[in-house]
């Protein structure tokens, strides 16, 4: 790649928001490159079933939705690079992106890096990641057929993934720090699983440590109602929320809120001229695939307007 080439737009991330934006930019002959360091399709790609995306009356598998978005963007000419963007510098007429593939210049940038799963930061969590500790039920649930699992969390994701995991496991212990915060629909389904003996809910429970013997997870040490308890399991799935992927923006001038999400104006412009943000990484986002896609389309239109403006 010629280091002097200034591309029209580079999008950081290739989740639903960026892929939707790329469909719009490329259809208008705006040269578009996307950088993705993880899974194309983002968290949507590792979601078992998406039931609230418009146009799919029976729901759609998250991976299938992600694949269709990818194919659609590439059909119009979007180029997807598997690599990371580690730093962005503002040079006025262009932005300099330091990537794992070297430096890239762009007239405009869309940041749509989404969020990643929060960690508990307890002993054993990092040590046994991928070997007893997981953050994706659809990716790793099948490894625990007829095994006993702990699922940590009390929100929509934790309850939904616990329900999904019942198709593999012999039993699930749902470890909830305070109370169940899931939607009423999920609460009813959870209660059905409890009544059938597939899930046991442990409220007022905090995880202290994930314990293994001979590198195999054997139990979770918790405090339940203030008392130390060991919950015997073969694996642990953690769903305690999301953390925005914005660490690479340090020193870029892009303003973040107190949660680390990117602040934008009504046109999805950040505090740096020529840099836009959309989707789950944006402050005020609703954390829904449908809205992320809509924001991606809006960002693309605003990027087109920006590129058409006469430069001073």
Q: Establish whether 136 is a catalytic residue.
A: yes
CA 181 – CA 170 distance, rounded (Å): 25
Tokens of 123: 């002993």
Q: Catalytic one among 8, 136, 173, 234?
A: 136
**What stretches of 159-309 adopt beta strand conformation (E)?**
171-175, 199-202, 205-213, 216-224, 227-232, 235-238, 242-244, 275-277
Q: Catalytic one among 140, 173, 234, 280?
A: 140
Q: Establish whether 280 is a catalytic residue.
A: no
Contact 281, 301 (CB under 8 A): no
Q: 3-class SS at 225?
A: coil
CA 289 – CA 61 distance, rounded (Å): 13
Tokens of 174: 């749902």
Q: How many CA atoms lie within 13 A of 126 on its CB side?
A: 4
Q: Establish whether 208 is a catalytic residue.
A: no
Catalytic residues, which ones?
A: 136, 139-140
């Amino acid at each position: 790649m010629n280091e002097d080439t200034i591309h029209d737009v580079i999008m950081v991330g290739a989740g639903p928001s960026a892929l939707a934006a790329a469909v719009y930019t490329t259809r208008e002959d705006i040269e578009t490159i996307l950088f993705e360091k993880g899974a194309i399709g983002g968290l949507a790609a590792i979601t078992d079933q998406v039931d609230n995306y418009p146009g799919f009356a029976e729901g759609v598998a998250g991976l299938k939705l992600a694949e269709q978005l990818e194919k659609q963007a590439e059909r119009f000419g979007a180029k997807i690079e598997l690599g990371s963007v580690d730093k962005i510098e503002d040079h006025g007429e262009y932005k300099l992106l330091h990537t794992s593939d070297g430096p890239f210049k762009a007239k405009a940038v869309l940041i749509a890096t989404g969020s990643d799963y929060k960690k508990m930061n307890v002993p054993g969590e990092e040590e046994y990641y991928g070997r007893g500790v997981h953050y994706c039920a659809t990716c790793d649930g099948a490894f625990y057929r007829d095994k006993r699992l702990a699922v940590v969390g009390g929100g929509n994701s934790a309850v939904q993934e616990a329900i999904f995991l019942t198709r593999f496991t012999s039993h699930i212990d749902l470890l909830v720090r305070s109370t169940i915060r899931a939607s009423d629909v999920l609460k009813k389904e959870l209660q059905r699983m409890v009544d059938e003996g597939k899930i046991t809910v442990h409220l007022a429970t905090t995880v202290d440590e994930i314990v293994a013997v001979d590198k195999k997870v054997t139990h979770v040490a918790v405090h339940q109602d203030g008392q130390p308890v060991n919950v015997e399991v073969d694996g642990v799935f953690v769903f305690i929320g999301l953390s925005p992927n914005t660490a690479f923006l340090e020193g870029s001038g892009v303003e973040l809120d107190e949660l680390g999400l990117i602040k934008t104006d009504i046109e999805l412009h950040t505090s740096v001229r020529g840099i836009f943000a959309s989707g789950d990484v944006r402050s005020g986002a609703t954390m829904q695939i449908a809205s992320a896609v809509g924001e991606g389309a809006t960002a693309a239109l605003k990027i087109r307007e920006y590129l058409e403006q006469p430069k001073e």
